């Protein structure tokens, strides 16, 4: 690929295919997470419901990354799809805390991230995000990277087994979301 094409694609994500934009968002997530001191890994292949693994101390989080290019026509909000499928020949499958620990939504025009615990998004197909809105119940998740940094106290009290990264992640996510 010529350097000028690469520059054009990174300047204008709208010119990318859905798959390319997904890869772009995943790379943007990994870059941001790494810049905050989080360890990141990309699972091999496309067989999992999560895109990225984030490790903090001895806890691993399964993260699904989504992105959005523009607001809904004539609406003040961005629509984040919190499910898979729904095409001509596939059924809609919601993400759940059994599949992922967090959904990270990248609002490309705002260059901002929303970090949602799975328990917040699991009953929904779509979430409407209005950045900067004081009335939005989701604004508290804007740049909420701290949710991925569990305190040592929570890990000691609630993680079933530190060697079981996914189990520990689910236990701490549930605790962070305030669910018993």
Contact (Cβ atoms closer than 8 angstroms) between residue 87 and residue 56: no
3.30.460.10, 2.60.34.10, 3.40.1350.10, 3.40.50.300: CATH of 3-176: 3.40.1350.10
CA angle centred on 59, ends 53 and 61, rounded to 5°: 30
Place of tokens 């569990």: 150
pLDDT tens track for 4-42 = 444 444 557 778 888 888 899 999 999 999 999 999 999
pLDDT of 155? 43
The predicted pLDDT at position 157 comes to: 38
Rounded to two decimals, what is the model's pTM?
0.76
Where the chain has pLDDT below 70, the residues are: 1-11, 151-180
């Amino acid at each position: 690929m010529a350097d000028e094409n690469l520059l054009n694609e990174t300047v204008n994500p709208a010119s990318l295919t859905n798959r390319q934009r997904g890869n772009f968002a995943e790379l943007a997530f990994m870059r941001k997470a790494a810049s905050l001191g989080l360890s990141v890994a990309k699972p091999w292949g496309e067989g999992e419901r999560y895109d990225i693994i984030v490790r903090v101390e001895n806890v691993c989080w399964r993260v699904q990354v989504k992105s959005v290019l523009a607001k809904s026509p004539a609406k003040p909000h961005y629509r984040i799809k919190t499910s898979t499928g729904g095409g001509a020949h596939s059924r809609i499958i919601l993400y759940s805390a059994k599949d992922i620990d967090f959904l990270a939504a990248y609002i490309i025009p705002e260059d901002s991230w929303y970090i949602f615990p799975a328990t917040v998004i699991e009953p929904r197909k779509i979430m409407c995000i209005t950045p900067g809105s004081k009335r939005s119940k989701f604004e508290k998740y804007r740049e909420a990277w701290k949710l991925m940094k569990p305190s040592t106290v929570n890990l000691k009290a609630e993680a079933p087994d530190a060697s079981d990264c996914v189990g520990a992640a689910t236990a701490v996510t549930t605790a962070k979301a305030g669910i018993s």
